[in-house]
Amino acid sequence: MASVKEIQDRLFEKIPGYMKLDFDNVGMLAGFCGMEVTSAVVALDITDAVIEEAIACGAQLIVSHHPLIFEPMKRVTDDDIKGRKIIRMIQNGLSGICMHTNLDAAEGGVNDCLMAALGARVTGLLSPHGTHPDGTPFGISRIGELPAPVDFDDFLARTKQRLHVSALRYVSGGRQVQRIACCGGAGGSDMRKAVEAGCDTYVTADLKYDHFLDARDFGLNLIDADHFCTENVVVPRLRQLLLEIDPALTVKISGVHKQTVCFY
């Protein structure tokens, strides 16, 4: 059996910490370094419900994408949302490992999984932000190609179905879809780069009104497919990585954490 720290270290071999953005907080953020892990839960976020789910199934570890601790904390108390989560985890022998923007950028990470879900082959990076030790660039957003052009309405239907999103926010650029860019989660800042890269379509989340106005003027098909839904595609990959580290692990994909934003 592997310990929590050993699992973190093995994950960092596959999802290097140096690939994160400078502001980020990744790795083991709460718990017990030496505790042996027989059971784990994977989820996009460590929510109260996910913690209770992990306790109920006897897990020692939660592995998430979004960090349990992001902003600096000066105290851990039960009258604070984050503090309450940490206390509940510690009281029940739970540790938390979080792989955030390093997982966004990693090969086989969030955006490779998102591009695969959209039916496209990754052909390049939209906005590199660093280099590997061998000099190869890495970055978060991806450029990809569909095997053949498809009508935008058909691509919308495909995106909604494959990402399991209840509704899409979008604007049509009046073009068919073949050369696409994607950024799981909040990717509005890369929209102009998608235009400059010659993409006809950009799939991301957390877009503002002005993004849609500009996209229409650029002739860019722009889709906001929800923050949770554009990133949750990586959760099965996290499960696979844990099983590669220790095939004897019991790894459960959270059944309680769903799309957070609802549409009426």
Q: What is the pLDDT of residues 49-87, one digit of tens each?
A: 999 999 999 999 999 999 999 999 999 999 999 999 999
What pLDDT was estimated at residue 263?
87
Q: Domain tally for the chain? A: 2
Are 102 and 24 contacting, i.e. CB atoms less than 8 angstroms apart?
A: yes
What pLDDT was estimated at residue 106?
98
Tell me: do 40 and 145 sit in the same domain. Answer: no
Looking up residue 80, the CATH number of its domain turns out to be: 3.40.1390.30
Tell me: do 150 and 239 sit in the same domain. Answer: no
Tell me: do 96 and 111 sit in the same domain. Answer: no
What pLDDT was estimated at residue 6?
98
Task: Give the structural domain span for 12.
Answer: 4-103+232-253
Q: Longest C-alpha distance within the chain, in Å? A: 56
Phi–psi pair at 217, nearest 5 degrees:
-70, -30
As a whole number of angstroms, the distance between CA 146 and CA 181 comes to: 11
Tell me: do 20 and 77 sit in the same domain. Answer: yes
Tell me: do 214 and 191 sit in the same domain. Answer: yes
Q: What is the pLDDT of residues 226-242, one digit of tens each?
A: 999 999 999 999 999 99
The pair of three-digit structure tokens given for residue 226, joined into one six-digit string: 């929800």
Tell me: do 58 and 23 sit in the same domain. Answer: yes
Q: How many residues does the chain have?
A: 264
Please indicate, yes or no, if residue 261 is contained in any of the structural domains: no
As a whole number of angstroms, the distance between CA 101 and CA 15 comes to: 10
Residue 228's closest CA among 44, 41, 17? 44
Tell me: do 94 and 134 sit in the same domain. Answer: no
Residues of the chain with pLDDT below 70 are none
Please indicate, yes or no, if residue 258 is contained in any of the structural domains: no
